[in-house]
Amino acid sequence: MRIHPVGTTLALALATAISVSPTQAQSRSPDTMVELTPYAGYMRIGDYAQGPFGTNLSNRNGYVVGAQLALKVLPGVSLVGNVAHAGADLQVGAPILGGLGVGNSKLWLYDAGIQLGLPAMSNGGSVGVSPFIQLGAGGIHHDVGASLINVRSTNLAYNAGLGADVMFGRSLGLRLLARDYIGRFDAKEAIGFDLETDVRHNIALSAGLKLAF
């Protein structure tokens, strides 16, 4: 799969955000704002392939770091753009031998989507909690390196997230987020011929610093 459909999706979302921004700033309340959230966390990267007799090509526990940019366009509704980098050790698994390290996986994730949130819940103090969901689409670029091979592939992926913002004021907060990136690994692009691959779930758990402007 080529990269440009994903880039088009991201470009359209960002163009919409830019075009909406000036008019919304004039017609909406002061709550309309831009949010930037750098984050870091843990990512469980889905298996690449299942072999005979219970063998598989998978990843050990990995990391994820990235940043989200959001533009509020309506109360409780935001356009979201996201870029992240993830990595993990690659391993071949067997029923008796367990996992044998053979290389590493590096991923670039980029997507755009929509965020739907609920009003902040507060106990009367200065701290408020705002739950939200995110839905979007974008791409995952895989760079898989082992002792004998090095393959790259870019695939379409959909994502769904559930999280909460713990706000310590109007402009500063802590974002907790669980996201699932759902897609297939394009074996044909990576190795030159088709293989039947299952839908993969790449699950990221992260915490970040939310800055609102």
Q: Phi and psi of 187, rounded to 5°?
A: -65, -35
| pLDDT on residue 186 | 62
Residue stretches of the chain with pLDDT short of 70: 1-32, 48-58, 92-102, 123-125, 146-149, 186-198
Of 6, 84, 4, 1, residue with least CA distance to 40: 84
Of 64, 90, 92, 67, residue with least CA distance to 80: 67
| pLDDT on residue 109 | 96
Give the Cα separation of 79 and 71 in Å (integer): 5
Note whether 127 and 84 are within 8 A (CB).
Answer: no
Query: Does residue 10 come out as left (phi exceeding 0), alpha (psi in the -120 to 50 range) or beta?
Result: alpha
| pLDDT on residue 13 | 45
| pLDDT on residue 200 | 83
In this structure, which topology does domain 4-212 adopt according to CATH? Porin (2.40.160)
Rounded to two decimals, the pTM is: 0.74
| pLDDT on residue 49 | 61
| pLDDT on residue 22 | 44
> What is the residue extent of each domain of the chain?
4-212
| pLDDT on residue 50 | 63
Give the Cα separation of 28 and 15 in Å (integer): 19
| pLDDT on residue 18 | 43
